[in-house]
Amino acid sequence: MKSNSLQILLAATLSIFSLPALTLAQDFPLTIEHKFGTTVIPEKPVRVATIDASGADDLLALGIQPVVIKYWFGDYERVVWPWADPYLEEVPDAVVRGDLGFEMILAADPDVILALWSNITPEDYDRLSQIAPVVAVPPGVGNYDMSWDDRALRTGLAVGLQDEAQAQVDAIRAQLADVAASHPEWKGMTASVAAIRRQGDPGAYTSGDIRAQLLADMGFETPQEIEALATEDSPYWASLSLEDLSPLDGDLIVWVSSDGNFDNVMALTDRPYLNVVQRGGEVLAGKEVTGAFSHATLLSLPYGIERLVPMLEAALDGDPETNADDR
């Protein structure tokens, strides 16, 4: 099954789902409540700065060329990743790497600053607010806890394009529903999204993480053995022992890697003994697919879903010799 193209998805206009936290009208001046207080945006912004880890994507999807971009990770010449590069006319002079660089942001003269996936402090917020109105996460929400769709809709709200953001969110939801409907056999199957962290420790994402949630939208379930390993300090990541990878042993494992190197995965001594590996139910999702789901944006998700689905199909076709992944 092939998903609709990215162009069709981004143009799709489906039924509008309301988001209780974002029911403000698109009239300006616009008042937005957030974790640091209240921000008033006097008029529809033209010059938009983003200090979000992946905030440039959603702005580009909405047709806005950001005047400030936050570099997150990757070695791409134009800062943004392949799914966003065609939408970027030119890299702005203000690219935030590491520290915020208040002087650089000030020089960009933004009308609004978006900080929805950002670890800014109250002191940072006060300094940024002297430059332009700042939009942060809603009250009671952690710095990186907004879901992909809530983040996109809040971005759309802040720049006066909430209806367009909603249409694109709905298109991605429809893409995921289409995948699930086309693969009814996936419903109820267990799927782990696993990785090896820089320290060399293996683990898997819990159902609270965006990666597991996207698989859930396709019909899969996170193994209860993974869920049981979550802790209060680590609610989204379950650490595993090098000597015991059995919590991964379900219907499917999707290994993710930010650099596309799976040598450390192949070197796991317990891995070949997992039933799921012996059945061929294993996917190695390389740098770009991993990055697409890590970014979780209006541009990256259609790109990632289209590439991941054939990998899943090959892993679950019953033939351990076939694969369509990034190994």
Q: Does pLDDT of 20 surpass 60?
A: no
188 with 30: CB under 8 angstroms? no
Mean pLDDT of 151-160: 98
Q: What are phi and psi of 241, to 5 degrees?
A: -85, 145
% of the chain residues with pLDDT over 90: 87
* Edge-to-edge strands, sheet with 134-136: 94-96, 68-70, 48-50, 112-115, 134-136
Give every CB contact of residue 239 below 8 A, 6+ residues apart in sequence: 201, 202, 203, 229
Express each pLDDT in 255-285 by its tens digit: 999 999 999 999 999 999 999 999 999 999 9
Cβ burial, residue 38 (10 Å; 0-12/13-18/19+): exposed
Express each pLDDT in 106-127 by its tens digit: 999 999 999 999 999 999 999 9
